[in-house]
Amino acid sequence: MRSLSYKTLTLILYVVCVYSCKKGDTDTFVPPVDTLSVLPLAPPPSSISYENADFSNGFTLSFDYASGANRINVYIDDTTNDDPYDELAVSYFFNNGYLEKTEYYSAGGAPAGSFTIQRSGTTINRLIIEHTNELNGGLIKDSFGVSFADSAGLTNMYVNYGNYFSPQVPVSVKYTFKNNLLKEVKAGLYEHEANTLFFPSYKFSYNKSDGRLWLKESDSYYGTSFTYGDVGKGIDSLFFILGGKDGHLVDAILYFDQNIGLYFYPIQMALFDNSVELDALIHRYGALQLVQSIPNGDEYPVTQSFSFQNVFDEEKKLIKSTILSNSLMYGSFTIRY
């Protein structure tokens, strides 16, 4: 199972989406030139606030798309003042529309992790990762080798993680795409001498008409189904902007990484209740209505549902979304433009 709980690191935990040099309307948003080719017509949100069920951990995150050439900064917003850019949390760096580097920062502004994408032309061939050492607080550096092969209309991406996940067991994973959509993650049991390590494999299905993810199947955990509303827009533009032209590849490379990722909490979160944990990109493919577990054998027998009560403005943009589990509030988003 892919767990997203790790994305509640102090710096990743507080992240959002915002455009503007001040709080206000972003309908006239003009993105950096390098992102024009991948930006959907709808503008990205200017801020996202999230509160959990008991309102004990609320926060607001803001994006500065105009922070510099080919750069997007993400800030924690102290809503008691008028400045939306109070504390830098994440920086994204681009070149010709391709993501080059992402840096995360601790509450005090110190580096808390990063990943750098190396390319041959525009093709990814390596990721260099830095993440925090939980023992001494320093940064640990690793790298992943990446290669590609096309077959029968599919793109296969092979990622060699080496001993990143375990000092004793090397790991490599195959990711298969069709039309830039992740179709399959092929992992499994890895063995080296007397040591073993296991990662689940996954298959993904999308609606043919609109490309929305509707089904995720696992060989060794719950499956997940996704249902969307017929009207109203999600926050798709945010994911496109942060990922750049090949964000689908970068996100996949970091799929099993429990230290750092392309996206962050709360737009990527683990929905957890009744011993079921389902990872989801929130409103990535339009406005979600329901995320539900699919039982998988005797070991995973529970059908658990997370429903979304959504509110839209007159332009059908999503402005509020409340997650319910077992008819009880799980969390709530407020989205501003």
DSSP track, 162-191: ETSS-SS--EEEEEEEETTEEEEEE-EEEE
Q: 328 by DSSP, 3-state: which?
A: strand
The arithmetic mean of pLDDT across residues 278-300, rounded, is 96
Whole-number Å distance between alpha carbons of 266 and 24: 22
Residue found by looking up tokens 């990943």 in the block: 115
Residue 133 confidence (pLDDT): 77
Torsion of CA 150, 163, 112, 125, to 10 degrees: -30
In 219-317, DSSP assigns E strands to 223-228, 268-273, 276-281, 288-294, 305-312
Q: How confident is the model at residue 68 (pLDDT cuts 50, 70, 90)?
A: confident
The arithmetic mean of pLDDT across residues 79-108, rounded, is 94
Read off the amino acid at residue 96: N
Structure tokens at 176: 């298969």
Beta strand 213-218 pairing with 276-281: unpaired
Number of C-alpha atoms within 13 angstroms, CB side, residue 46?
15
Residue 14 confidence (pLDDT): 37
Whole-number Å distance between alpha carbons of 235 and 179: 21
Residue 138 confidence (pLDDT): 79
Smallest Cα–Cα separation from 49: which of 4, 83, 99, 15? 15
Whole-number Å distance between alpha carbons of 26 and 92: 20
Interacting residues of 209 by C-beta distance below 8 A, sequence separation 6+: none
Structure tokens at 26: 């972003």
Q: Identify whether the C-beta of residue 330 lies closer than 8 Å to the C-beta of residue 271.
A: yes
**Helix ranges restricted to H, 186-331:** 236-243, 247-253
Percent of the chain with pLDDT over 70: 87
- 19-63 residue pLDDT tens: 223 333 333 333 333 333 333 346 899 999 999 998 777 999 999
Domain boundaries defined on the chain: 5-336
Residue 139 confidence (pLDDT): 84
- 189-202 residue pLDDT tens: 999 999 999 999 99
The arithmetic mean of pLDDT across residues 246-271, rounded, is 95
Residue 40 confidence (pLDDT): 39
Residue 42 confidence (pLDDT): 64
Q: What is the number of other CB atoms lying within 10 angstroms of the CB of residue 41?
A: 6
Smallest Cα–Cα separation from 335: which of 242, 270, 267, 281? 267
